[in-house]
Amino acid sequence: MGMVGGGRGAFIGAVHRMAANLDGKIELAAGCFSSDPEKSRLSGEDFFLSPDRVYANFEEMAEKEAALSADERIDFVSIVTRNDLHYKVAKKFLENGIHVICEKPLTLTKAQGEELRAVVEKSGLVFALTHNYTGYPMVKEAKAMVADGKLGKILKIVAEYPQGYAMMGYEEKSSEDGEISNWRMDPSISGISNCIGDIGSHAENLAEYISGLKLEEVAADLNTFLPGRGLDDDGSMLCRYEGGARGVLFASQVSTGEENNLNIRIYGTKASIEWHQEHPNELTVKFAEKPREIWRRGNSYNGKDAQKYTRLPFGHPEAFIEAFANIYLAATEAISDAIEGNFKGNEAYDYPNVADGVRGMAFIEGAVKSSENNGAWTKL
């Protein structure tokens, strides 16, 4: 594995490295860990890499790695940069014949996402997007229940992602200099949305992954409550899914007291399911005329997909790092197949792919457009 971004002090880069290393199938061999060459060099020292495999920029890294022999070069690159670089970095490595695992959102704009999809399809390479919440075993159990018809026809999807961390920076009046407090509030780096782009997109992806239904239209109300900020920190919307299902999606970074409370409820004609990211090892199944059931990870009654991505026996919690690791595990399976000439195409493996990323960008742009038009229904 190579990595672009994720150097000293980067939270998500460390998460990716731990996740990739968890199953002993992946070795970090090269990287460009910062746009600052000196920081990249020092980060390479932190990770015990050979100095000649630590690069000053991603362009040099892609070209020099591609020039190495097949048994020496990296097999794939993990992209953990800010949003504005995802497209450029992914395109460069794909064009140099190197598989890609990329942080979400896919790109800065939907147009870029469509261009990148064309590059992925032309390359025939593995492209995985780390919507990590799809990696939890009980999320996979929920998906299997829906696919097997245990819920009946899906009528309603409620996805929520409240956080409260942004309230630590709340002030009653705008800052005098109007300074953007972090890069997620800078449209040139983050894109047209902060909250919906950052965490709302996770709720959208999770709903589609479990239900198997594509989101078609939204009626959105996005808000900026924190003074001095130019992008949304809160949003609510009504959703229309294919097949007639309806939904509610709520994402907020100003929900005081909340930590990382992503949760989802899916209601069908036979039963409903409920899952909470802060209690990820349990899945609640509810019925109209009998007691509800609590399904837990690591048991023999779990389906094959949940069992495949479970590492520990029941009673030993698995969580955030393991969910990320499951994306890497699925991508490793695809990359191994590609090396052996048996790659079946990105849609055949259990990781979010470039098509999911394009739908995510359509969701972000549709929500922003709807909110700008006073909540008008907007097709994605």
Q: Which of 184-198, 208-222, 337-351 has the lowest mean pLDDT?
A: 184-198
Q: What is the pLDDT of residue 187?
A: 85
- pLDDT, one tens digit per residue, over 276-316 is 999 999 999 999 999 999 999 999 999 999 999 999 999 99
Pick the CATH number of 2-125 from 3.30.2350.10, 3.40.50.720, 2.60.120.620, 3.40.50.300: 3.40.50.720
Q: State pTM to two decimals.
A: 0.94
What topology does CATH give the domain 135-313+360-379? Answer: Dihydrodipicolinate Reductase; domain 2 (3.30.360)
- pLDDT, one tens digit per residue, over 146-169 is 999 999 999 999 999 999 988 876
Give dist(CA 3, CA 65) in Å, integer: 12
Q: Where are the domains of the chain?
A: 2-125, 135-313+360-379
Q: Retrieve residue 239's tokens.
A: 């959703």
What contacts 183, CB < 8 A, 6 or more positions away? Answer: 82, 189, 190
The alpha carbon dihedral of 339, 340, 343, 348 has a sign of: negative
Domains 2-125 and 135-313+360-379 share a fold: no
Distances (CA, A) of 359 to 87, 186, 209, 306: 15, 22, 12, 25
Residues of the chain with pLDDT > 90, as a percent, come to 92
Range 219-230 average pLDDT = 92
The C-alpha angle 314, 350, 248, rounded to 5 degrees, equals 85
Distances (CA, A) of 96 to 50, 57, 65, 99, 332: 22, 15, 9, 9, 19
Q: State yes or no: cis peptide before 105, omega within 30 of 0.
A: yes
Cα first-last separation, the chain: 35
> How large is the greatest C-alpha to C-alpha distance in the chain, in angstroms?
66
